[in-house]
């Protein structure tokens, strides 16, 4: 089980990135636009840098939905490798079973 503080930190980051998503997108569009002047682009870069650091979606971490584990997470299932194995053994994941040959 992951530390509760780490899981809560990731939830906070997800909330912040959702809150500032539109603002970040508008500023990035201004920065990459061909028609914007150099001063407008530099102003947009400055505003983008002033946004909270945790509002960047790249700072979010994939975590297991059950245990909160950050490593070994299968994005297709949203579970860590340990929890995915347990769920497979219980038959909770349709179409997935332990390999045997």
**Across 18-46, average pLDDT:** 94
Cα–Cα dist 40/29, whole Å: 11
**Enclosing H/E stretch for 74:** strand 73-74
User: Could you tell me the pLDDT band of residue 2, with boundaries at 50, 70 and 90?
Assistant: confident
Q: What is the pLDDT of residue 98?
A: 84
* pTM exceeding the 0.85 threshold for the entire prediction: no
Cα–Cα dist 96/41, whole Å: 50
Q: What is the pLDDT of residue 18?
A: 96
Beta bridge partners of 74: 79
pLDDT tens-place string over residues 38-89 = 999 999 999 999 999 999 999 999 999 999 999 999 999 999 999 999 999 9
Length of the chain: 101
Helix (H, G, I), strand (E, B) or coil at 79: strand
């Amino acid at each position: 089980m992951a530390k509760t503080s780490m899981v809560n930190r990731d939830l906070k980051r997800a909330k912040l990135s959702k809150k500032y998503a539109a603002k970040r997108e508008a500023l990035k569009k201004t920065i990459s636009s061909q028609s914007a002047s150099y001063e407008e682009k530099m102003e947009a870069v400055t505003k983008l840098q002033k946004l909270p650091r945790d509002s960047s979606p790249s700072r979010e971490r994939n975590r297991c939905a059950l245990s909160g584990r950050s490593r070994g997470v299968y994005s297709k299932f949203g579970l860590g490798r340990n929890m995915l194995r347990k769920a497979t053994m219980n038959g909770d994941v349709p179409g997935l079973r332990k390999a045997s040959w």
